[in-house]
Amino acid sequence: MRRAVNSPAATAVLCLTLVTACGASAGTAQSESSPSISLWGTSDPSAGKPPTDRREAFDADRAVLRVKRLGYTADAGAGTLTNLKGPLRAIHAHCTGSVDGKCVSVFFFYGNKYAGYDVTAAAQSTIKSQDGQTVTLSYPLYLPTDPQCCHSGGEAEYRVRWKDDKLVFSPPLPENPNYAAE
């Protein structure tokens, strides 16, 4: 037959065991700024949320790795990209393994969150400017009779902004911005 132990020493040992097993004591509060960590995944607790601090340091290494995983090679190194003003940033990249440089795309990040890209494998494009709020892109326009080397249709410019948690192109970006609408 078991007998209950009601001594203060036994109660203290039981409390100490429970506190140690749970990893916190009644007198210690967890900091509200510490992120919760999932035991079932390695996702970033802030993923999917726009950054609240516009001065957040840009993780250019992580951005370049994301671009690489999408099959592209950034045209600038992480050291250069670190200095881009934010929160909206654009990275120009070419298709990894492309030999003629006619396979490019622009990847956008809002804070450290990947926000999207312009078009899949455009023939050519240029980031003309970016100031952290607006990115200006330029695409040479090819006419149907133009050889790959030389466009004769001028250039089209598009401004990209972040609005309502998405990229907004002005004017709207066509499926293939390198070819003039017929």
- Model confidence pLDDT, tens digit, residues 100-149: 778 899 999 999 999 999 987 678 899 999 999 999 999 999 998 988 88
DSSP state at residue 54: T
Domain ranges of the chain: 60-170
pLDDT confidence band for 180 (50 / 70 / 90): low
- DSSP code per residue over 68-93: HHTTEEESS-HHHHTT--SSEEEEEE
pLDDT score for 28: 35
Phi, psi of 31 (to 5 degrees): -65, 135
pLDDT reading at 6 higher than 70: no
Categorise residue 75: left if φ over 0, alpha if ψ from -120 to 50, beta otherwise. alpha
Joined tokens for residue 151: 């466009």
pLDDT score for 168: 96
pLDDT confidence band for 93 (50 / 70 / 90): very high
pLDDT reading at 155 higher than 60: yes
CB-based contact 110:123 (threshold 8 Å): no
Between 18 and 91, residue with greater pLDDT? 91
Joined tokens for residue 111: 């804070």
pLDDT reading at 19 higher than 70: no
Helix (H) or strand (E) holding 10: helix 8-22
